[in-house]
Amino acid sequence: MYNDNPTIDGLKKTIDTNRQGEVFEQLDPNKQKYSKHFYIESYGCAMNFSDSEIVASILSKEGFGPTRDMEIADLILINTCSIREKAEDTVRKRLRIYDKVKKKRPSTMVGVLGCMAERLKKKFLEEEKLVDMVVGPDAYRDLPKLIADVEDGDKGINVILSREETYADITPMRLMSNGVSAFISIMRGCDNMCSFCVVPFTRGRERSRNAFTVIAEAQDLFDKGYREVNLLGQNVDSYKWLNPETEETVSFAELLIMVAKIDPRLRVRFSTSHPKDINDDVIFAIRDHHNICNYIHLPIQSGNSRILKKMNRTYDRPWYEAKVKRIYEILPDCAISSDIITGFCSETEEDHQDTLSMIEWAKYSMCYMFFYSERPGTLAAKKYEDDVDLKTKKRRLQEVIDLQREVAIVHNAKDVGKTFEVLIEGDSKKSPDFFKGKNSQNKMVIFPKVEKYSKGDYVDVKIDRNNSATLFGSIVDPDA
Ligand code: 5AD
Ligand code: SF4
């Protein structure tokens, strides 16, 4: 889940994973004393935010504590995204800010992590003189050694991709969490070769994490008071872990059920699903377990079958429609969201109209929408001409955004009068007199506080109005 498009206002507020360049909100929950400090910013997908928490955990064992103030940091890290050109531009701009800090305090180390580090490798050190360290997504265990190299006056680089690394044994330091909801990374990498996408090159081959460590992490979170886990992977439905002791494989549906069984009060979400991989077992798991949320992020990318073929998505429009029908048939209350790209190579006005009609047909509750950005090294960059001009790409994107807003308003208006179970995540940003929380369908709900309830509680909220991004209502108090 990504969002680097400022034109999509409103959506940013609804999706917690949609954080742009977020700085740790809370300091070390363990309240340890540290002699050295790191400052980290994360960009891009939820996986990057989750990785930053793994990095924080590795660094804390080396005596580095987190700080929100880059001016006092001994180590400044930026966890980068390469998915679109704009994401990379943002990172370059941030480096200019770090440059100023480093000029004032030359001993400060600067490290680049994540997808851009992997994509640019040594070139990064050559292009950006202030950067001391370039560390790819599979090399975070090497950070202590790389820091030592830099302290010895060298530059540090490790961008080796792994076929095994899942950081299974590392307990993330939950620096960005609200104490209610947390990410659990269940797999890494991606074996799909969508022709527009750089991720298979920056995050490497797909590998699944030991299921027992996933369950242990979820149990630990529940014991610490968390009430929602979000199982993360580029392609969660192809999760498959071979238990070496029993030689049995654990599928994604099985993993979901195992996590759901920890406690009915622990909500389970997951992201992202590839339409070709999500199967009936997953859909039935959602139906049969109240705490597996009624929400599926099912990116279509384009509503036109010819474009989908060029994108190498491995399905066409009728196939996707059949999948959506199946989901609504088994889960009539399920909310489905999507990712959409406008202006992919050779997209005509008719093809674009197909994307618009798809949005109306699928009745998405929400979409992440982007215009196509050619990425070096991808199949599309090699094979196809980026022949839709920027103005047209942006105009089509705006049409997609406008239509999706209307579709979302209708989707949300259908919830008016209904009562939903909402998990309280904290105070509403606009007023301390209101709580915010989500329903099972991943919709943000705002409602007036009632004293006996607090963060982490479930309440029934009756909806009385909506806009395109939010539902508003009040608590139905069983004791009133
Ligand atoms: N240009 C625009 N959007 C892209 N995405 C991935 N690669 C590109 C690109 N080159 C979008 C897709 C994907 C989401 C994570 O980002 O919609 O699902
Ligand atoms: Fe990229 Fe496609 Fe893999 Fe998603 S499924 S990360 S869009 S290659």
Q: What is the pLDDT of residue 2?
A: 42
Architecture of domain 2-158: 3-Layer(aba) Sandwich (3.40)
How far is residue 335's CA from residue 415's CA, in Å, rounded to a whole number? Answer: 11
pLDDT at 1: 41
Residue 368, beta-bridge partner list: 339
Ligand nearest to the CA of 312: 2
Helix 46-60 with 143-151: angle, nearest 10 deg: 60
- Report, at the CATH architecture level, how domain 419-475 is classified: Beta Barrel (2.40)
Please say whether the beta carbons of 133 and 147 come within 8 A.
yes
> For the chain, what are the domain ranges?
2-158, 419-475
Residue 177's pLDDT band, with cuts at 50, 70 and 90, is confident
The alpha carbon of 279 and the centre of ligand 2 are apart by a number of angstroms equal to 18
339 Cα to the center of ligand 1, angstroms: 8
pLDDT tens-digit series, residues 334-379: 999 999 999 999 999 999 999 999 999 999 999 999 999 999 999 9
List all residues whose CB is within 6 A of at least one atom of ligand 2.
Answer: 190, 192, 194, 197, 199-200, 234-235, 274
Q: Alpha-carbon distance 111 to 146, whole Å? A: 10
What is the best residue among 47, 118, 119, 190 to mutate for testing ligand 2's pocket, by most ligand atoms within 8 Å of CB? 190
Ligand 2 pocket test: pick from 1, 193, 194 the residue with the most ligand atoms within 8 Å of its Cβ. 194
Which ligand ends up closest to the CA of 82?
Answer: 1
Which among 453, 413, 419 has a CA at the least distance from the CA of 439?
Answer: 419
CA distance 390 to 375: 15
Write out pLDDT tens, residues 33-50: 788 999 999 999 999 999
Cβ neighbours of residue 246 closer than 8 Å, sequence gap 6 or more: none
Q: Give distance in angstroms: CA of 194 to centre of ligand 2.
A: 6
Question: Is the CB of residue 75 less than 8 Å from the CB of residue 36?
Answer: yes
Q: Can you tell me which atom of ligand 2 is nearest the CA of 339?
A: 7
Nearest residue (CA) to ligand 2, atom 5: 192
Please tell me which residue, 26 or 87, carries the higher pLDDT value. Answer: 87
Asked whether the predicted pLDDT for residue 16 surpasses 50, the reply is no
- The stretch 173-183 carries a mean pLDDT of 91
pLDDT of residue 24: 54
Report pLDDT digits (tens) over 223-255: 999 999 999 999 999 999 999 999 999 999 999
Is 339 close to ligand 1, i.e. is its CB under 6 Å away?
yes
* 389: number of Cβ within 10 Å: 10
* Residue 57 near residue 15 (C-beta atoms within 8 A): no
Q: What is the dihedral of CA 359, 363, 369, 371, to 10 degrees?
A: 0
Q: What is the pLDDT of residue 439?
A: 98
Question: 301 CB under 6 A from ligand 1?
Answer: yes
Task: Compute the distance between CA of residue 300 and CA of residue 313 in angstroms, rounded to an integer.
Answer: 9
Nearest residue CA, atom 8 of ligand 2?
A: 194
Q: Six-digit token pair at 148? A: 């030592």
Among 29-33, 146-150, 267-271, the range scoring the smallest mean pLDDT is 29-33
Distance in Å from the first CA to the final CA of the chain:
40
* Ligand number with the minimum distance to the CA of 345: 1
- Residue owning tokens 């009936």: 280
